[in-house]
Structure 1
Amino acid sequence: MIPSEPPRGAGAVARTVSGPSVAGRAGYDEHFLGVPVPLPVPAGPAVETVVLPYTHFTVVLRPDRRMAAAAAVCIDGERLPAQVPPERDWQLDPRLDEDRQTGEEVYRNNSLDKGQLVGRLAPVWGEAAEAGQAHADTFHYTNAAPQADVCNRSRQVWQGLEGYLLDHAARPGRRLAVLTGPVLHDSDPPYRGVQVALRFWKVAAFLRDGSLEATAYVLDQSPDLIWDAERALAGATPGAPPVLGAFRTFQVPVTDVAELTSLNLGPLPAADLMPVVRTPEDRWRRLASHDDIVLQRR
């Protein structure tokens, strides 16, 4: 995507900004797969967003929530690095005022993780300087949202989705366009000047036999009332982060992500590989492992 080109949406208010330390970033390329997969933007009227291009990915930030509504990344599986770069220090994006983004004060001295929306390896491909720049760009606070620090199997499934899809869905080209973000809801619990999202979403798009295909996922960190009822009903300790549960990962219809987020996902609902069923217990498929993912039309 060209930095000066605003995303298309139904009534969304968006502007693209640039700054000295991140100048010249091309951002997400909606033609990366060979067919258009547009940047997701709010479908509703008068939702202000700021489009922040980085290297191989773009963040669509909602200043009213001080975090991203969506992020979109191009992943070239044939050009990923053999070695994992070391982690970097986190930094604010100089293109935004500090009170329009979520910084270190939200994560300090508590149990919250900085959950990277675009994982630090996803955009890291290309020549050495380009790959290094992409890696550093993922450590902007605009690319993070508060997450529980719980490590469990479901979180590992979520974090490994891109690699699994590159190996099992995106052959032979091994290219993915991945759209992701928190589900921003008015009822999200407040904490230190922000509202903590309880769910995250991800839609992966790829070409197979020349056709666009897509799959969608939701990561849920809301308290599980079966196991966490006592903590959840008691409420959080004053000044402490909201009560969050262990992660649960689901494969869901792309249309459900569009409805949950009020984002325009372009052609992806029509390209969904997961059949839409009417029975609620079957509509969202809980994933115990990547082998549970539906990658063939039924």
Structure 2
Amino acid sequence: MDAAPSTDGYDPLFLGTTVPLPISSDPALALAYPRFSVVLDPSRRLARATAVNIDGARLREVARTGDWRLDPRAPDDAQTGPEVYSRNDLDRGHLVRRRDPGWGDVDEARRATEATFFYTNAAPQAAGFNQSKELWLGLEDHVLEHAEAQDVRLSVFTAPVLGDDDPPYRGIRVPLRFWKIAAWATGDADHPLAAAGFVLDQTDLVDTRQEARAVAPLGAFRTFQVPIADIAPASGLDLGPLIDADVLPREGVRPTPWREISTASDVSLG
């Protein structure tokens, strides 16, 4: 059995103002890893939330090491393991990116990046790689560049939307949408926190009707910048101060529209 990872976990004070780990109203298991945490939903066998601290000024490029493995601290049947990803077109999609916790000295960075390979930090994603998915994977980098005038730190929260309409597949339900929130310090004493929320929709790419193939041959990822207030009910989480820190302006009593984005220049960061 693999040894349990080190457990310093997500730091809610990392940005200089308190940003708590999102709280689930459903039964969940909080697991701490080096510089990030996972809130695991045992009934869905997937993360309901992840949270990672990124120190952009101290990020290191370390060799890709580590193998996907179950976390011994959680029951095997509470995790989506290798059997879901075999003989199909589903990727083990990192929720906390491998690179994000990899900062500090070399040994610290390596331990942190290797910890991202626990299955608790994975969710099934369509394997097709296109411009929209590249954008999704690069959102943290884009926000880091925006925050560089401050202390180049981010706290990032990512997870699948665990919807009732997610299609069943090999004992789990494949999530059709994912959400992400990036938060950073502003340096403004009156409004010390800013945040931006995003949703990735892979509905057009997922087809679980045929056992041997779990991804439709046509379709595209779609990425949206969305009000964080919309992510809260979809995720079933208490997002604390992140809603009020949203950089998207609120439009009075009318819902703020979702904005489809295709390049980083489409992202509004205030």
* Shared fold (TM-score, shorter chain, > 0.5): yes
For the aligned residues, what is the CA RMSD? 2.0
Q: Which residue of 2 aligns with 1:11?
A: none
Preserved CA contact (<8 Å) 2:5 2:34: no
| In structure 1, C-alpha distance between the alignment counterparts of 2:6 and 2:134, rounded to whole Å | 34
- Structure-2-length-normalised TM-score: 0.92
Alpha-carbon distance in 2 for matches of 1:169, 1:23: 30
Q: Which residue of 2 aligns with 1:290?
A: 264
Partner of 2:214, secondary structure, is coil
Aligned counterpart for 1:40 among listed residues 22, 33, 40: 22
**In structure 2, what residue type is equivalent to 1:262?**
G
Q: Deviations over 1:104-151 (max 9, x none)?
A: 000011100011000000000012211111011000110000000011
Alignment of 1:33-112 (within 5 A): 33-42=15-24, 44=25, 47-81=26-60, 83-112=61-90
Residues 283 and 170 of structure 1, relative CA distance in 2, 3 Å threshold: farther
Equivalent residues of 1:41, 1:263 under 8 A apart: yes
Q: Contact 2:45–2:172 (CA<8 Å) still a contact in 1? A: yes
Query: Is the alpha carbon distance of 1:187 and 1:33 closer, same or farther for their aligned partners in structure 2, counting shifts above 3 Å?
Result: same
Counterparts of 1:40 and 1:170 in 2: how far apart (Å)?
25
Aligned counterparts, 1:259-270, within 5 A? 259-270=233-244
Identity %: 48
SS at match of 1:283: coil
Contact 1:170/1:208 (CA < 8 Å) preserved in 2?
Answer: no
**Alignment coverage as a number of residue pairs:** 265
Structure 1 residue aligned with 2:138, among 160, 166, 170?
A: 160
Indicate the SS of the match to 1:291: helix
| 8 Å contact kept, 1:170–1:176 | no
Aligned to 1:36, the other structure's residue is in SS state: coil
Q: TM-score, normalised by structure 1?
A: 0.84
CA distance 1:84–1:249, change in 2 (3 Å): farther
Moved segments of 4+, more than 6 Å: none
Gapped regions of structure 2 (runs ≥ 5): none
Q: Secondary structure at the match of 1:166?
A: helix
2:93 equivalent in structure 1: 115
